[in-house]
Amino acid sequence: MIALFYIAAIIAVIATVAVILQTNIVHGLLYLILSLLAVAVIFYVLGAPFAAVLEAIVYAGAIMVLFLFVIMMLNLGQHTRDQERSWLTPRGWIVPSLLAAVLLGQLVNVMSQIDHELIPAQIGVMEVSALLFGPYVLAVELASILLLAGLVAAYHLAKTK
């Protein structure tokens, strides 16, 4: 299991870096999907199968499909690739990556102070839903109201006069 975790983690990191460096946008998206799936595997290894599957269904399966859908509508060709490449000059990435490195340092520092068992007990669907509709029911309701508002707005935009 622990080996599985490290393999998935390495894949996730490499895929995410590839998303940034990729100039072909479809390939970039593919790497993003790969990274999401790797994260789903990590969730599974960490004992959260429900979260893992939802990651695959919602993020990899639905949201990314919509991304791809939009990309299909845009007419992307060689010129966007050149544009992407021109943005990848050192002047563009040095400062953000320095800042990110600082954040990473902090994260590693914090992580090294917690000594946790890496593999906790499995948390099934039952437990997750009991928590969601028990102590956190207010948050769930608020989130659903937010989604409803989004739905109504989308309906309004799409409605033909």
Partner 1 sequence: MSLEIGSFLSIGLILGVVIITAALLITVERRLLGFWQERLGPNRVGWFGSLQVVADMIKIFTKEDWVPPFADKFSFVIAPGIIMTVVLLSFAVIPFAPNIGVIDSNIGVLFILAMASLGAYSVMLGGLSSDNKYALLGSLRAAAQMVSYEVFMGISLLGVVALTGSFNMREIVESQADGWYIIPQFIGFVIFLIAGVAESHRLPFDIPEAEQEICAGYHTEYSGMKFGMFFVAEYIGLVLISSLITVLFFGGWLGPEFLPPILWFSIKAFAFIAFFILMRAAVPRPRYDQLMSYGWLFLLPLSLVNLLITGVIILSMQ
Can you give the binding site for partner 1, defined by CB under 8 A? 24, 26-27, 30, 33, 49-50, 52-54, 56-57, 60-62, 64-66, 68-69, 71-73, 124-125
- Is-contact 60 43, C-beta < 8 A? no
Q: How far is the CB of 73 from partner 1 (least distance, A)?
A: 8
- Residue number with CB closer to partner 1 (49 or 84): 49
* Distance from the first to the final alpha carbon of the chain: 57
- Residue number with CB closer to partner 1 (19 or 71): 71
**Which position has the token pair 């966007």?**
80
- Residue number with CB closer to partner 1 (72 or 147): 72
Question: What is each CA distance from 118 to 41, 73, 77, in whole angstroms?
Answer: 14, 44, 45
Q: How far is the CB of 153 from partner 1 (least distance, A)?
A: 17
Instruction: Of 119, 123, 124, 152, give the one whose Cα is nearest residue 42.
Output: 119
How many CB atoms neighbour CB 153 within 10 A? 10
- Residue number with CB closer to partner 1 (5 or 50): 50
- Per the structure block, which two tokens stand in for 93? 């990435």
Q: How far is the CB of 132 from partner 1 (least distance, A)?
A: 15
Q: How far is the CB of 107 from partner 1 (least distance, A)?
A: 29
